[in-house]
Amino acid sequence: MARNYVAIIRKSSDGGNTWSTIDEFSNGETNPGYEYNAITCDSAGNLYAVGDNAWTDTGNNVSIVRRSLDGGLT
């Protein structure tokens, strides 16, 4: 079974009626299996998303942390 997953963060500005993708993450693997497990922010407005890749070709679980310094714009 082929896996084709990237970790995705979406946002909604209208109470969940519509969504837009603001981040997609993978390292370009043939069969990525990334997923985000948690998202948080600090008092300065920096956003952090933490996840892992449980489906690496080597069988090793790889942790990822993504940080946005502008409230999620980038």
Neighbours of 5 (CB within 10 A): 15
What does the pLDDT profile of the chain (74 residues) look like in tens digits?
444 577 878 888 999 999 988 878 777 766 667 778 888 989 988 889 888 876 656 666 778 888 888 777 77
Angstrom distance (rounded) from CA 21 to CA 33: 18
DSSP state of 30: S
Handedness of CA 10, 68, 63, 42 (dihedral sign): negative
pTM above 0.75, yes or no: no
Half-sphere exposure of 29 (CA within 13 A, CB side): 21
